[in-house]
Amino acid sequence: MADEAPFQFLHSEVIEYIYKSADSGEAENGRNITKLENMGLRVGQGLIERLTKDTARFKDELDIMKFICKDFWTCVFKKQIDNLRTNHQGIYVLQDNKFRLLSHLSAGKQYLEHAPKYLAFTCGLVRGALSNLGVKSIVTAEVSIMPACKFQVMIQKS
Amino acid sequence: MADEAPFQFLHSEVIEYIYKSADSGEAENGRNITKLENMGLRVGQGLIERLTKDTARFKDELDIMKFICKDFWTCVFKKQIDNLRTNHQGIYVLQDNKFRLLSHLSAGKQYLEHAPKYLAFTCGLVRGALSNLGVKSIVTAEVSIMPACKFQVMIQKS
């Protein structure tokens, strides 16, 4: 039994609930994505606070990103990010080859259009975690072949 | 780092979201409790299906209840139920001396009134799990001293 199952099932129910209680249509879909993203944001803030309680200070931005890819990802998804790339100018790409919140969807192309609603929460999760570590960012996600997916983090210099 | 933290934080956000998007008032509070209970119901159904995939058939109702108290509870809350009692006539009382979804609330009496919204999801969770095992039930919860709480399961004979 996978340890993260209660979290996965609850995550699916939240999406279901938000979409069910809203009208359909493009504008509404955007609002639902925002709701999920905001929920993720707050969960990310809470989690990172608890996770870093006894951690030494991070030495730089890359150090923070590595923590997100390893400790933070493992806490939520029971696996690490498979690949982290950066252009060393504030853009990071986190690739998860088997993203848990997509793995229950079939791999067929017809499901690709549903992917955004399964990624919004996690985009917020990463943004929330980073923000609590003092790093302002924009996080987006893309799927090419399910259940692999990439999260792009653009650091916002203030 | 407690393993169940992502689930806990998400659970809190769901409560927050449902209460925030609704009007206040007694009737509305009742509807929110129902929403949380229904969400728990579906999560419970999904979880128990996965958990019992490779399990031998249960020999009776008590056997099922023991599974809920041990395997099911451990999967969701990373601990077992501390005490299971029954009157052998279809009523079971499951006591958790340190219920995880209450443990972030302070133990003061002034928080007791908030307890129901933190218990509704789990009542549904138990009812959903049981219903998928063919046992129809009514599940209620009560808190006397936080974070201890009791779930009462009344089996509905059909």
Per residue in B3-21, pLDDT (tens digit) is 678 998 999 999 988 888 7
Per residue in A17-44, pLDDT (tens digit) is 888 877 777 778 888 999 999 999 999 9
B14 with A10: Cβ contact below 8 A: yes
Distance from CA of B20 to the nearest CA of A (A): 12
Distance from CA of B88 to the nearest CA of A (A): 30
Contact B149, B107 (CB under 8 A): no
In this predicted structure, the answer to whether residue A128 has a pLDDT above a threshold of 90 is yes
Q: The whole model's pTM is what? A: 0.89
* Closest alpha carbon within chain B to A8: B7
Q: Could you tell me the residue range of the domain that residue A143 belongs to?
A: 4-155
In this predicted structure, the answer to whether residue A48 has a pLDDT above a threshold of 80 is yes
User: Could you tell me the two tokens for A23?
Assistant: 């009208």
Mean per-residue pLDDT over chain A, rounded? 90
In this predicted structure, the answer to whether residue A107 has a pLDDT above a threshold of 70 is no
Q: What is the ipTM of this complex?
A: 0.85
B11 with A11: Cβ contact below 8 A: no
Over residues B65-78, the mean pLDDT reads 95
CATH at B98:
3.30.1380.20
Per residue in A2-15, pLDDT (tens digit) is 567 899 899 999 99
A17 with B35: Cβ contact below 8 A: yes
- Alpha helix positions (H), B89-114: none
* Closest alpha carbon within chain B to A49: B1
A46 with B9: Cβ contact below 8 A: yes
| Number of domains making up chain B | 1
The torsion angle over the Cα atoms of residues B9, B36, B147 and B46, rounded to 10 degrees, is -70
Q: Is A70 on the interface with B (CB under 8 A)?
A: no
Per residue in A50-72, pLDDT (tens digit) is 999 988 889 999 999 999 999 99
